[in-house]
Amino acid sequence: MCFTAIVDKVVRQLERLWWAPVEVLVFHAVSDLYDSRRNKRVDWSQTDVFKNHVRLLKSRYRFISLDEAGRRLRRWCPRRERLAVLTCDDGYASVLEVLPFLESERVPVTLFVNPKYLDGVSRREGYAEEPQYMTHDQLWALTSEWVTVGMHGYAHDDATVQTAEEFELSVERCVEALQRHPRYIPFFAYTWGRHTEATQRLLWQKGIVPVGVDGNTNRHYHGMIDRRPMDSHYWNKIWSKMTNER
């Protein structure tokens, strides 16, 4: 084993010993019944199951907001408390129904939205019937201290197939559309977690925190925030991995 590999292994062991994990989770649509015309199975959770998962997580972790997690991950002082963060992608209107539950449980959540679909008219490809997105007015009505709003690309495009100019325009249009929201935070969640070194550099240059979805836990900030899917389709596998990595 080369010297660099040995050092990396030692660093990982020290991280496990001194820095408790910050688990950042992502979910999408939540509803009582699954509708295949409006949702995809991998991006959906049944309402009662979702609530049970949140309560189970609360028994193991303390929930904090995404921006607080970002600040904590930048610190090098020891962290012994296990923390969790809840995020939601795509801006489905059904999520509005579970926000009162999350507030009652004192669980902050960050909503990553695609501004293009806030108009209630624009349609997204790949669905038999358009998902019901929250509208601009519904989003702007969310002023609770338990909710923050971030960017998910202007039109849910894959950043790895966009040109540099297209990606930058997407980011700029997101900022223009959302920065006046009272709960806006400068975090950008890549669609499907797909990114490149160039997209990373552009976000850093603009002071925006990149957010992925690669299934890893977080112990320090390494240029982006990693997330795990929390949708029901993934839950058993993800929960097993989380508990084994404690």
Three-state SS at 151: strand
CA dihedral 57, 217, 182, 38 (to 10 degrees): -70
**What is d(CA 113, CA 189) in angstroms, rounded to the nearest whole number?**
9
Q: Does residue 2 form part of some domain? A: no
Q: In Å, what is the CA distance from 54 to each residue of 17, 109, 151, 203, 239?
A: 26, 12, 23, 31, 12
Residue 9 lies in a domain: no
Structure token digits, residue 170: 């997407």
Cα dihedral 150/154/157/158 (nearest 10): -50
Q: Which of 109, 107, 112, 108 is nearest to 56 (CA)?
A: 107
CB half-sphere exposure, 209, CA atoms < 13 A: 21
Residue 75 covered by a domain: yes
Q: Cβ(93)–Cβ(35) under 8 Å?
A: no
Residue 40 has pLDDT above 90, yes or no: no
Got the DSSP string for 180-223?
TSTTEEEEEEPGGG---HHHHHHHHHTT-EEE--SS--BSS-SS
Residue 3 domain-assigned (yes or no): no
Q: How many domains does the chain have?
A: 1
Instruction: Report yes or no on 167 lying in a domain.
Output: yes
Q: What are the tens digits of pLDDT across the range 136-170?
A: 999 999 999 999 999 999 999 999 999 999 999 99
Q: Is the pLDDT of residue 13 over 90?
A: no
- pLDDT at position 10 is 61
Place of tokens 């923050």: 148
Is 192 domain-assigned?
yes
The pLDDT, as a whole number, for residue 223 is 95
| Residue 16: per-residue pLDDT | 67
Whether residue 6 is contained in a domain is answered as no
Question: What secondary structure does DSSP assign to 101-124, as a single string?
Answer: HHHHTT--EEEEE-GGGGGS----
Pick 240 or 141 by higher pLDDT: 141
Quickly tell me which residue has 């449980």 as its tokens: 105
Would you state the pLDDT for residue 1?
Answer: 58
Any domain includes 8: no
pLDDT at 18: 72
Domain that holds residue 172: 18-244
* Nearest residue to 112 via CA among 202, 43, 206, 56: 43
Query: Angle CA(60)–CA(62)–CA(66) in degrees, nearest 5?
Result: 130
Domain of residue 233, CATH code: 3.20.20.370
What is the band of 17 on the pLDDT scale with cuts at 50, 70, 90? Answer: low
Query: If DSSP codes are grouped into helix, strand and coil, which group holds residue 81?
Result: coil
pLDDT tens for 183-229 read 999 999 999 999 999 999 999 999 999 999 999 999 999 999 999 99
